[in-house]
């Protein structure tokens, strides 16, 4: 993992490491945060959303890519709005459908394919770009534009490092 100021790069080499990242992110996310998730098909966006939902007390069994429904809502410790902008033509279509009202000020808003509606999103948000490295490995580039971004990124780094140290060794 490499961290620099208000950003970090995290390589996950399996489900457990993705869950470490999700737990760390969930600990620093705050109600009202918008998280844009970008990356090609199969890069790990929905997998990360499932892990985040689980970390926030939602049943991961209900989390799926909302491509055909566009929006899904999950209840847990906080409400989660999960948006998939893949089928949208752009920011204008998102705005016309009332997209701004979907951004939950009391929960988290996770937006897959956010680059398609970039102009309609708040400038203060999390940006996560996922990249497929191998069948079991993904790279997540994470940045944050909030005033306390550096502290939040540092907290993620510390939490992931602690989780890795506490990981039980197989006998």
DSSP structure class, residue 30: -
User: What number of other Cβ atoms are within 10 A of residue 94's Cβ?
Assistant: 24
What is the CATH classification number for the domain harbouring 35? 3.40.50.300
Does any domain span residue 136? yes
Does any domain span residue 91? yes
Interacting residues of 3 by C-beta distance below 8 A, sequence separation 6+: 9, 153, 154, 157
Does any domain span residue 127? yes
Does any domain span residue 137? yes
Does any domain span residue 171? no
Does any domain span residue 57? yes
Question: 72-89 pLDDT, tens per residue?
Answer: 888 888 899 999 999 999
pLDDT per residue of the chain (171 residues) written in tens, 0 to 9: 776 778 999 999 998 999 999 999 999 999 999 999 999 998 999 899 999 999 999 877 777 765 566 888 888 888 999 999 999 999 999 999 999 999 999 999 999 999 999 999 999 999 999 999 999 999 999 999 999 999 999 999 999 888 766 655 444
Residue range(s) defining the domain that contains residue 87: 2-166
pTM: 0.88
Angle, to 10 degrees, between the axis of helix 15-28 and the axis of helix 45-55?
60
Interacting residues of 108 by C-beta distance below 8 A, sequence separation 6+: 29, 31, 33, 34, 35, 52, 56, 78, 79, 80, 81
Query: Total structural domains in the chain?
Result: 1
Instruction: Return the pLDDT at 160.
Output: 86
Instruction: Return the pLDDT at 164.
Output: 67
């Amino acid at each position: 993992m490499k961290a620099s100021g208000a950003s970090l790069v995290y390589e996950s080499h399996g489900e457990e490491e993705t869950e470490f990242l999700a737990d760390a992110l969930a600990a620093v996310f705050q109600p009202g945060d918008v998280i844009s998730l970008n990356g090609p098909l199969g890069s790990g966006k929905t997998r990360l959303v499932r892990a985040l939902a689980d970390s926030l007390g939602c049943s991961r069994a209900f989390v799926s890519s909302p491509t055909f429904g566009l929006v899904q809502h999950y209840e847990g410790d906080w409400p989660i709005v999960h948006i998939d902008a893949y089928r949208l033509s752009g920011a204008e279509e998102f705005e016309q459908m009332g997209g701004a009202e979907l951004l939950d000020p009391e929960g988290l808003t996770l937006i897959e394919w956010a680059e398609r509606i970039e102009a309609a999103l708040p400038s203060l948000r999390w940006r996560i770009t996922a990249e497929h490295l191998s069948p079991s490995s993904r790279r997540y580039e994470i940045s944050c534009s909030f005033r306390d971004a550096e502290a939040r990124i540092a907290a993620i780094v510390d939490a992931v490092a602690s989780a890795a140290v506490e990981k039980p060794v197989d006998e």
